[in-house]
Amino acid sequence: MRCSRRAFLEAGLALPAVLHSAPEPGGWRSSGPAFSQDSSFDPWVEIHAENLRHNVTEISRRVSVRPILAVIKNNGYGLGVVNVAQLLEPQPEIFGFAVVKLHEAFSLRDAGIRKPILLLGPFDEQNLADAVAREILPMVYTALGPALEKIAAKQQKPVSLHVCVDTGIGRVGVPYHQAAALLGDLAGRHSVHIEGTMMTFTEDPDFDKEQLGRFNQTCTALEKEGIALGKKHAASSFPLFQHPDAFFDMVRPGMAIYGIYSENEFRHMGIMDLRPAVSLKARVIYAKKLRKGDSAGYNRAYMAKDDVWVATIPVGHADGWPRAAAKGAKVRINGDLYPVIATVSASHSIVEIGAEEKVKIGDVATLFDAQSGSRPEDVSEACGASVYDLTMHLNPLLPRRVV
Ligand SMILES: *Cc1c(COP(=O)(O)O)cnc(C)c1O
């Protein structure tokens, strides 16, 4: 083993505190606590509080200070749903949060989050009563009037909710041509307070315009009848770049908050300066020289054309690192980028270092971070993995560390 105990300890100074007490390579035990859940080599996720704040400020500027409903579904896009809510809640630009899973809404309230929470996902009548009791706003698109009456009677105040209108995405939402009946019914009940009316774009730039027209017509007709629709909102990250006429009363981005451009062509348009707020890192667990003709990976996916140094990183598809990464993604070690080769297996990836032994056991490998060349968008561009998968598929059990 090439790395000295001292070199490893020094490198270890950069590690998150939670990982410090791990046993050292070679089976030594440090004098610290005798037991740690995580090996100091295991992958970890870093959340950059400053970049998160910067992105919120950028979005706010872009939308002329309209309120931001921060979408933090699917474990806060991989950053940790409670982490993200706690970091964002103090920012005045943040109106509230949107999640899909009921348990995420509850865990936010359990963690002391006070701002409004919109539940984008499904619920049964009992779920609805429980959610309302914890001031979680349901997103409604079916004839729930009678159930809402019951809940309102029990809690002795109207149920606040948002109504979702389907203008062409065909997923959830009342079809726009039937929206007047539903909104009319809900608005006519004392037990209901319509706090918002929303839609989702398909992100097909031409059809988006058609969708926007449908939404505007539906809303205008209802407002003429005196029906109060609350805050209208439609813009996720894509429309923040493409459709300023769809910012309405509030915007509803997810990915942009995490500092990642959802489309590569947005990166150089100068509309918003987004800075990735999430990194994935691990430590090199092995470095070795393959001889000409040696193979690497399942199915011998890689054959060494010459003698070559390779390094093994303990990150695989079970951690959320895509299999496609072996098609050209690069990993940064000691400032240099090295291609992922062979195959990404459940818990390992192999990178090609080259003719020289430039990497040793214990070096930090950055799979993505905020630096140019290893941003999530760079990984996505190099190997075709979606930036949404890069963050949302991060294994929820990996340690999260706010930096
Ligand atoms: C996920 C989601 C968003 C946020 O989308 P991004 O592309 O991440 O900005 C907004 N609205 C709804 C209904 C969503 O499901």
Name the strand (E) or helix (H) holding 242.
helix 237-242
For residue 86, pLDDT beyond 50: yes
- Return the residue whose CA atom lies nearest to atom 15 of ligand 1: 120
State the chain's mean pLDDT as an integer. Answer: 92
Contact 40, 10 (CB under 8 A): no
Same-domain check for residues 100 and 213: yes
How far, in Å, from the CA of 209 to the mean position of ligand 1? Answer: 18
CATH of residue 31's domain is 2.40.37.10
In a domain, 273, yes or no: no
Ligand 1 centroid distance, CA of 44 (Å): 25
> Number of folded domains in the chain?
2
- Which ligand 1 atom is nearest residue 256's CA? 9
The verdict on 97 and 230 lying in the same domain is yes
Lowest mean pLDDT among 32-36, 230-234, 248-252: 32-36
Task: Verify that 155 and 210 share a domain, yes or no.
Answer: yes
Instruction: State in Å: Cα 157 to ligand 1 middle.
Output: 30
When pLDDT is averaged across residues 31-44 and rounded to a whole number, the result is 74
**Atom 6, ligand 1: which residue's CA is nearest?**
254
Percent of the chain, pLDDT > 90? 90
Within a domain: 275? no
Neighbours of 228 (CB within 10 A): 12
**Over the stretch 146-168, which tens digit does the pLDDT of each residue have?**
999 999 999 999 999 999 999 99
Mark whether 37 and 70 lie in a shared domain: no
pLDDT beyond 50 at 222: yes
- Residue 300 inside a domain? The answer is yes
pLDDT over 90 (residue 28):
no
- pLDDT level of residue 206 (50, 70, 90 thresholds): very high
- Does the pLDDT at position 32 exceed 60? no
Predicted pLDDT at 238: 97
Domain stops at, among 223, 247, 268: 268
Answer yes or no: are the C-beta atoms of 31 and 65 closer than 8 Å: no
Task: Work out which ligand 1 atom sits closest to the CA atom of 100.
Answer: 15
Indicate whether 226 and 326 sit together in one domain: no
> Do residues 98 and 121 share a domain?
yes
Q: Rounded mean pLDDT of 50-62?
A: 98
Same domain, 295 and 170: no
Radius of gyration of the chain (CA): 25
Task: Give me ligand 1 centre to Cα 348, in Å.
Answer: 31
pLDDT at 24 over 50: no
pLDDT tops 80 at residue 36: no
Looking at the domain assignment, is residue 69 inside a domain?
yes
- Ligand 1 atom 3: residue of nearest CA: 236
Contact (CB, 8 A) for 98 and 70: yes
Q: Do residues 119 and 140 make contact, with C-beta atoms less than 8 angstroms apart?
A: no
Q: Same domain for 36 and 63?
A: no
Average pLDDT rounded to a whole number, residues 281-303? 98
Q: What is the dihedral of CA 245, 250, 255, 260, to 10 degrees?
A: 60
Mean pLDDT of 92-119: 98
The reply to whether 304 falls in a domain is yes
Residue 283's beta-bridge partner residues? 364
Model confidence band, residue 37 (pLDDT cutoffs 50, 70, 90): confident
Residue 190 predicted with pLDDT over 80: yes
Task: Tell whether 183 and 332 lie within a shared domain.
Answer: no
* Pair (305, 234) in one structural domain: no
What is the pLDDT at residue 38?
80
For atom 7 of ligand 1, the residue with the nearest CA is 237
CA of 236 to the centre of ligand 1 (A): 5
Residue span of the structural domain in which 309 resides: 5-46+280-402
pLDDT per residue as tens digits for the range 238-269: 999 999 999 999 999 999 999 999 999 999 99
Answer whether 380 contacts ligand 1 (Cβ < 6 A).
no
298 and 235 in a common domain: no
Residues 104 and 221 in one domain: yes
CATH number at residue 257: 3.20.20.10
Q: 238 C-alpha to center of ligand 1: Å?
A: 9
Average pLDDT rounded to a whole number, residues 82-98: 98
Position 35 scores a pLDDT of 62
In a domain, 67, yes or no: yes
Residues 6+ apart with CB under 8 A from 170: none
Is the pLDDT assigned to residue 61 strictly greater than 50? yes
Q: Which of 231, 248, 268 is the last residue of a domain?
A: 268
Give residue 204's pLDDT.
95
Query: Across residues 370-383, what is the average pLDDT?
Result: 96
Last residue in a domain, options 268, 299, 329 = 268
| 252 Cβ closer than 6 Å to some ligand 1 atom | yes
Q: Helix 81-88 crosses helix 102-110 at what angle (to 10 degrees)?
A: 50
Q: Output the pLDDT for position 56.
A: 98
pLDDT at 18 over 90: no
8 Å CB contact between 41 and 286: no
**Is residue 228 included in any domain, yes or no?**
yes
In a domain, 254, yes or no: yes
| pTM (2 d.p.) | 0.91
Average pLDDT of span 269-277: 97
The verdict on the CB of residue 236 being under 6 Å from ligand 1 is yes
Tell how far the Cα of 317 is from the centroid of ligand 1, in angstroms.
Answer: 24
Q: What average pLDDT score do residues 194-208 get?
A: 97
Q: Which atom of ligand 1 is nearest to the CA of 237?
A: 9
